[in-house]
Structure 1
Amino acid sequence: MADGWTGICFGEEGSNIPSRTQVVQKFRQLGITRVRLYHTYQSTLQAFSNSGIQLTVGITNADIIKALSSVGSARSWVDRNIVPYGSSNIVAVTVGNEVLTSTANNLKNALLPSMKNLREALNLAGESGIKVTTAHAFDVVANFFPPSSGQFADTGRMQPLVNWLASVGSDFICNIHPYFTYMNSNGQITLQFGRLESGSVKDSNNGEIYTNLLAQRLDAVYAALGRLGQGNMRVVVGEIGWPTSGGTATDTDNARIHNQNLVNLARGGTPLKPNWGIQTYIFAMFDENQKAASLQKSWGLYNPRNFQAKYTINFGNSPTLSNRITQGMRLSSGQFVMSKNEVYKFIMQADCNLVLYQNGVTPLWSSHTVCSASDGYLELLSDGNAVVYGGGVARWTSNTLGRNDGAHRIDVQDDGNTVMYNEANQAIWATKTSSGRITQGMRLSSGQFVESKNRVYRFIMQADCNLVLYQTGVGPLWASNTAGRGSDGYMELQSDGNAVVYGGGVALWASNTLGPNDGAHHIDVQDDGNTVMYNKANEAIWATNTSSGCITQGMRLSSGQFVESKNRVYRFIMQTDCNLVLYHIGVGPLWASNTACSRRDGHMELQPDGNAVVYVGSVERWGLRSSADARWASNTWGRNDGAHRIDVQDDGNTVMYNEANEAIWATNTAGR
């Protein structure tokens, strides 16, 4: 089922938990998109910033009354623990853990009012999209066998709570631990049934057959909710796992089998909810040595002391490295690889179509292989050919098996391009979807490149440690001159705004832009041949100075971008104030479109119809122009087939030429 998923609980009751940044990086490598936290520690929430991971955070039982006794106190808690972390993707807050089965009556009575106060406080803070719920122990269910007889032990407290959850669209979270059920069953439950492997247990009421203990327990909860009139409420398993020491059948083999089966079950349903995927959080990411009971200390997937996996789990949503497919690797239906900046996703869809998405929404490229087969997959074969199969038939191929020994790997790059490289690190195939931009934190490794949108210019980190700008069919235009000076070379636009070429761990070249105007925010490989570093205010602070001085049809000057004459004396720039201006560098403006305004989203485009237009606002979505305001136009679309190019000439004149090379418009600034 598409809505099934497996997240991980990240508990922090340990003296040797790795750095939170390392932990987040590991979650991303595993392809984990949902994490449950039990606290709102500042350093942890900051580490998850812009990670793309959905967080469920918690308020401890000890803090409920103090923090949520009124809407005012709840608002203070929200302002401290939620509002500052808008980029950390908090999607839900659990008020307490197992309150109704493990705390005093005063806290049980305070639970629902506290949840209501938090809901109101989140709404007042503009955080209405964050859900409020609480996590229950499975012990809230009194009758659980057969599953269809499930009912809650304390219906007096549970009825108003689940009614309120339904009214605000929140899930019912229940911690279900098959291990404890198996351990306490006195041999009545088999190990195979307990670790979700196999079995056949019949519900005597409805005849349904259960093959694993989790489905049995889940349906008992669904049945109990149904008895309270909330049979359509989603149950999320807040904790589930298997310890590796301290008790019966506690070893890495049993833990691995249980948790791998758990991941595999996510796509299926239960007998009572066959069309609902199973949503769970594995307990837990790490062994936690500060937990009270010895059995509670060894539930981790990882040993925190050395950050080594205690056993291997295939989570099914990220096959190996986060952005790379290697020979022999297969993307099955629903699996994907993602760029390291988590903007671009290369996914094998259930409809047999292989698609590259930007931000999970906008398709940039596809194999056009949509079909009715349900067993589609992409495989990078050992002969270097990438093939999409569906129904046992090859439906698309990259045709790279004969190109310089074939594709050795496929990289989903941070610039939006997905590229196949041979063993010599040469690009032999690409989706040609490069954004033409390098942003802070992005790295060009050996052989990787970014192209201009018109595919004429390529900025590449060569295997010889040289960073080079090439013009297709012409040759190199600029280089860092670092060839042969190191190994394992790469270029990184650092968070301090400096672009640096490294080789063998040594800095070989730098743009020295960390000081000017807050440093380089992004690098654009422009369609005019110039590669330019812009600061956050979109001001150019460094360039290769390789501009062709020419703008061609379809090319756009975004806010802050410019084209220079070949002699570097004249600059035609789309300013951040929406004014298009021709400057004599060191002298002043010679011509302007007179479109200056308070907006900051202007651009100039030489359209395919031969008209040059200055727009303010967004202009394109799904190929349709919308929400844009044309502020100036050259009105050249009807003159001898319109403008084919714009030349920023060495004489100071900027001229539009048609396809026959006739001048049809000019700034008339020659010699100034």
Structure 2
Amino acid sequence: MNTSKHPSLHTIVLFLNLFLIVPLTTSIGVNYGTLGDNLPPPSDVAHFLKTRTTIDRIRIFDVNTDIIKAFADTNILVSVTVPNGDIPSLTDARNARRWVDTNIKPFYPATKIHYICVGTEVLHWGPQNLVDNLVPAMKVLHSALVKEGFDEIKISSPHSLGILLSSDPPSNASFRPGWDVGSLGPMLEFLKETKAGFMVNPYTYFGYSPANANFCLFKPNPGLFDKATGITYTNQFDQLMDAVHVSMKKLGYPDVEIVVAETGWPSGGDPANVHANPTNAAAYISGLMKKVSSGNGTPLMPGRKFETYIFALFNENLKGPSLDEKNFGLFRPDFSPVYNVGIMHASQVIFLWFDYIETFR
């Protein structure tokens, strides 16, 4: 029995392993939501991400000027979002130029604005007026950017996987009728022309059942066999991504890049959702980071890397209605990690270790 007041070597190894689950050189994006009344100021967030984490890009759900300004000169890529309700007005060229003059021009290029996301899951949530105006608004907004000389800023729009008619097996996947040729075909043509990514939100959390827990969490499992291709899928992330790819291919756009605009796993939730816990969240995010940083791609997209944004940066106490929605964060509002998957810089691991040792003195 070890009676020393100092941590044992075994304890040291266990502690460091918590922070070294994935290589610390891995860079990753994160969704920076603000639905909380206890969140730190944007300037503190920008400093924290730049100096203490490997996160090199963020996505926000509006055009919050305080956040956009806070990330100036940080070298962190920032993607902003046009609120769904503003989409119809941006089909007018004058309004689109005014929007760019107000929300982009004062901050770019000091802030490295990367994408403008036109709406969020518009096809899933509607109404039809927004659906009908989505691609036209994307095109007009792109033209406004080009006229300002902001050609490097990309235009896209994130989709829930409700756009899929099916995903199991991936070889049988397709987009939902109506949306396929009505909206997604023209959008994919636009994305191909502008060399932008097709944004999707693949949450394996929402496909969870006790029977497929390991399949959802990147843990060893028997896999899902697709007899049409002879492929055995060992995780649901690959299954969903290949389902999107097959659906794009059926419309004639297999080579448009796919961006993972949102994916995550909550560390807490409503009592019925016992799978919403820190252990599962850490397993999913760790597996995800290994997957997207490996360069291995998926069975149908070998060798591809996917620009990926974890949902979310912080636990947000004003989200709801479920407790799950409040607990998707990598960090608490005081910047302490909810669980540890290697997102902190190596130097921060050392500082945390010294803090840990201090508690034994």
Q: Under a length normalisation based on structure 2, what TM-score does the superposition of the two structures give?
A: 0.83
The residue number in structure 2 matching 1:434 is none
The residue number in structure 2 matching 1:63 is 86
Residue 218 of structure 2 corresponds to residue 196 of structure 1: yes
Residue 127 of structure 2 corresponds to residue 104 of structure 1: yes
d(CA) in 1 for partners of 2:252 and 2:218? 29
Letter in 2 for 1:253: T
SS of residue in 1 equivalent to 2:107: helix
The residue number in structure 1 matching 2:328 is 299
Letter in 1 for 2:328: W
Q: Do 2:27 and 2:55's aligned partners in 1 also have CA atoms closer than 8 Å?
A: no
Per-residue CA deviation, residues 617-654 of structure 1 (Å, 9 max, x unaligned), is xxxxxxxxxxxxxxxxxxxxxxxxxxxxxxxxxxxxxx
Letter in 1 for 2:279: D
d(CA) in 2 for partners of 1:292 and 1:120? 37
Residue 74 of structure 2 corresponds to residue 51 of structure 1: yes
The residue number in structure 2 matching 1:41 is 64
The residue number in structure 2 matching 1:320 is 347
Per-residue CA deviation, residues 269-319 of structure 1 (Å, 9 max, x unaligned), is 100011102331110001112223222111011111x33211112138x43
Q: Do 2:88 and 2:129's aligned partners in 1 also have CA atoms closer than 8 Å?
A: no
Letter in 2 for 1:178: T
Shift of 1:214: 0.4
More displaced stretch, 96-105 vs 25-34 = 25-34
Shift of 1:57: 1.0
Letter in 2 for 1:272: L
Shift of 1:248: 3.3
Per-residue CA deviation, residues 515-569 of structure 1 (Å, 9 max, x unaligned), is xxxxxxxxxxxxxxxxxxxxxxxxxxxxxxxxxxxxxxxxxxxxxxxxxxxxxxx
SS of residue in 2 equivalent to 1:301: coil
d(CA) in 2 for partners of 1:110 and 1:146? 32
Give the 5 Å matches for 1:33-182. Answer: 33-66=56-89, 68-86=90-108, 87-153=110-176, 154-156=179-181, 157-182=183-208
Per-residue CA deviation, residues 219-259 of structure 1 (Å, 9 max, x unaligned), is 00011011111101111111110112222311111111111
Per-residue CA deviation, residues 20-50 of structure 1 (Å, 9 max, x unaligned), is 1111122121121111111111110111000
Shift of 1:261: 1.0
The residue number in structure 2 matching 1:27 is 49
Residue 284 of structure 2 corresponds to residue 261 of structure 1: no
Q: Do 1:74 and 1:118's aligned partners in 2 also have CA atoms closer than 8 Å?
A: yes
Q: Do 2:264 and 2:312's aligned partners in 1 also have CA atoms closer than 8 Å?
A: yes
Shift of 1:142: 0.8
d(CA) in 2 for partners of 1:197 and 1:172? 28
d(CA) in 1 for partners of 2:98 and 2:173? 39
The residue number in structure 2 matching 1:6 is 28
Per-residue CA deviation, residues 163-219 of structure 1 (Å, 9 max, x unaligned), is 11111111000011100111xx4x44x211111223222111111121111011000
Shift of 1:149: 1.8
Letter in 1 for 2:31: C
Q: Do 1:94 and 1:134's aligned partners in 2 also have CA atoms closer than 8 Å?
A: yes
d(CA) in 2 for partners of 1:5 and 1:223? 27
d(CA) in 2 for partners of 1:101 and 1:46? 31
Letter in 2 for 1:111: L
Residue 275 of structure 2 corresponds to residue 275 of structure 1: no
The residue number in structure 2 matching 1:310 is 338
Q: 1:213 to 1:117 in 2, by over 3 A?
A: same
Letter in 2 for 1:93: I
d(CA) in 2 for partners of 1:257 and 1:21? 30
Per-residue CA deviation, residues 81-119 of structure 1 (Å, 9 max, x unaligned), is 111112110011000010011111111001011101100
CA RMSD of aligned residues (A): 1.9
d(CA) in 2 for partners of 1:112 and 1:26? 36
d(CA) in 1 for partners of 2:163 and 2:174? 9
d(CA) in 2 for partners of 1:197 and 1:175? 21
Per-residue CA deviation, residues 430-486 of structure 1 (Å, 9 max, x unaligned), is xxxxxxxxxxxxxxxxxxxxxxxxxxxxxxxxxxxxxxxxxxxxxxxxxxxxxxxxx
Shift of 1:321: 4.1
Shift of 1:133: 0.5
Which structure features the higher share of strand residues? Answer: 1
SS of residue in 2 equivalent to 1:242: coil
d(CA) in 2 for partners of 1:40 and 1:262? 28
The residue number in structure 2 matching 1:646 is none
Task: Return the match for 2:276 from 240, 250, 255.
Answer: 250
Q: Under a length normalisation based on structure 1, what TM-score does the superposition of the two structures give?
A: 0.45
Letter in 2 for 1:320: S
Number of paired residues? Answer: 315
Q: Do 1:40 and 1:57's aligned partners in 2 also have CA atoms closer than 8 Å?
A: yes
Q: 1:5 to 1:302 in 2, by over 3 A?
A: closer
Q: 1:5 to 1:136 in 2, by over 3 A?
A: farther
d(CA) in 2 for partners of 1:293 and 1:196? 28
d(CA) in 2 for partners of 1:278 and 1:130? 18
Per-residue CA deviation, residues 108-160 of structure 1 (Å, 9 max, x unaligned), is 00101110110011111111110001000011011211112221002122111
d(CA) in 1 for partners of 2:94 and 2:146? 12
Letter in 2 for 1:10: Y
Residue 252 of structure 2 corresponds to residue 229 of structure 1: yes
d(CA) in 1 for partners of 2:329 and 2:83? 21
Structure with greater contact order relative to length (CA < 8 Å, sep ≥ 6): 2
The residue number in structure 2 matching 1:336 is none
The residue number in structure 1 matching 2:13 is none
Task: Return the match for 1:239 from 252, 259, 262.
Answer: 262
Shift of 1:18: 0.5
The residue number in structure 2 matching 1:591 is none
SS of residue in 2 equivalent to 1:255: helix
SS of residue in 1 equivalent to 2:315: coil
Q: Do 1:112 and 1:161's aligned partners in 2 also have CA atoms closer than 8 Å?
A: yes
Aligned structure 1 segments of 4 or more residues deviating by more than 4 angstroms: none
Q: Do 2:85 and 2:130's aligned partners in 1 also have CA atoms closer than 8 Å?
A: no
d(CA) in 2 for partners of 1:269 and 1:301? 24
d(CA) in 2 for partners of 1:235 and 1:321? 32
d(CA) in 1 for partners of 2:320 and 2:214? 29
d(CA) in 1 for partners of 2:220 and 2:164? 24
Shift of 1:5: 5.3
d(CA) in 1 for partners of 2:289 and 2:122? 28
Unaligned residue ranges in structure 2 (runs of 5+) = 1-25, 352-361
